[in-house]
Amino acid sequence: MPLGDPVLDLSYRKFKRLPARVCGLMHLEKLYVCGNSLRTLPDAVAELQGLRTLALDFNKMEDVPPAVCQLTNLTRLYLGSNRLMSLPPELRNLQSLRCLWIESNYFQRFPRELYDLPHLKSLQIGDNRLKTLPPDLWRMEALRGLWLYGNRFSTFPKVLLRMESLEILDLDRNKISEFPSLKRLKALRLFSYDHNPVEEPPKVGEEVLVVGEGAAEFLEAREARKERLRKAAEKEAEDSVELSVPCPQSFPLTN
């Protein structure tokens, strides 16, 4: 590796432009420029082909800078808390991307450009303006974590029931009054539905951690039920052992 720290943090420096010298740091693997006043990035950023992580949260970007779409080795891209309404088609160049955070922007429609990112595992798109999800969202087969909190869903998006690889699903702070059974989502490990107008938790698999109003009581009841079943199984095992012990046989005494 070339000499130099592979991580550079320029967050909260009140920059309006990225310092030109940054584009010459070819050894960089992680660049954090959060909390500035950036509207775009210089084209020369595309030279930083060693970048794996780029964090641009809390800036003033209305569009994804073209140079970002040329960083083909990126695995993590953070664009939260900007002014984005859409993503460019060129985003499909980021074929190595595994984690994308675009929360707290102005998306009214789910960006279908994400379909072309075959390795995307984590998508954070909370606090936007989504009302629906496209019916073919299931095509994003690599997704493991999907954060949709703080949007404008009034009904549960049925396409989510086809996303059987999801491990984390967050629908906090929407307007969903009824949830279907989520038991078919066999990989699900965490489901959050807090601050929705529902009367009770949805049905989920036995290993799912549920977060929301009434969830604590639901989880306690489930644990109590598991404990009862465990004790019943133990008692049944003990009884079967006792039944299987042979009775002592009598043998004639011999001199």
Q: How many CB atoms are located within 10 Å of the residue 13 CB?
A: 12
Q: Is residue 249 part of a domain?
A: no
Tell me the two tokens of residue 5: 């720290």
Burial class (CB in 10 A: 0-12, 13-18, 19+), 147: buried
251, part of any domain: no
In one-letter notation, the amino acid at residue 218 is F
Question: What is the spatial distance between Cα 65 and Cα 42, in angstroms, rounded to a whole number?
Answer: 8
Inside any domain, residue 237: no
Residues 63, 40 contacting (CB under 8 angstroms): yes
Q: For residues 61 and 64, give the distance between their C-alpha atoms in angstroms, rounded to a whole number.
A: 7
Termini Cα distance of the chain: 90
The answer to whether 38 and 60 have CB atoms below 8 angstroms apart is yes
CATH number assigned to the domain comprising residue 194: 3.80.10.10
| The pLDDT of residue 44 | 97
In a domain, 120, yes or no: yes
What's residue 242's pLDDT? 58
Structure tokens at 252: 């004639």
> For the chain, what is the domain count?
1
pTM of the model: 0.86
Q: Give the pLDDT of residue 251.
A: 45
Token pair recorded at residue 7 = 């991580």
* pLDDT tens digits for range 85-113: 999 999 999 999 999 999 999 999 999 99
Token pair in block for residue 100: 């994308």
The rounded distance, in Å, linking the Cα atoms of 231 and 226 is 9
The two structure tokens encoding residue 198 = 């529902």
pLDDT in tens, the chain (255 residues): 345 789 999 999 999 999 999 999 999 999 999 999 999 999 999 999 999 999 999 999 999 999 999 999 999 999 999 999 999 999 999 999 999 999 999 999 999 999 999 999 999 999 999 999 999 999 999 999 999 999 999 999 999 999 999 999 999 999 999 999 999 999 999 999 999 999 888 999 999 999 988 888 878 877 887 788 788 778 777 776 555 555 555 445 444
Residue 244 lies in a domain: no
CB distance 115 to 138 below 8 Å: no
The per-residue pLDDT for range 16-33, each reduced to its tens digit, is: 999 999 999 999 999 999
Chain-centroid distance of CA 154 in Å reads 21
Can you point out the beta strands (E) in 129-237? Answer: 145-147, 168-170, 190-192, 209-211
Which tokens hold the place of 180?
A: 């279907």
Looking at residue 236, what is its pLDDT? 75
Q: What is the structure's pLDDT at 255?
A: 43
Position 93 in a domain: yes
Residue 240 in any domain: the answer is no
Burial of 238 from C-beta contacts in 10 A (0-12 / 13-18 / 19+) = exposed
pLDDT computed for residue 233 by the predictor = 79
Confidence (pLDDT) at 254 = 47
Q: Give 106's Cβ-side CA count (13 Å radius).
A: 8
Considering the domain boundaries, does residue 252 fall inside one? no
pLDDT for 190? 96
- Tokens matching residue 29: 């693997």
Phi-psi region of 155 (alpha: psi -120 to 50; beta: other; left: phi over 0): beta
Amino acid at the residue 63: D
* Residue showing tokens 């087969």: 141
**Structural domain span for residue 131:** 7-230
Per-residue confidence (pLDDT) for residue 220, from 0 to 100:
85
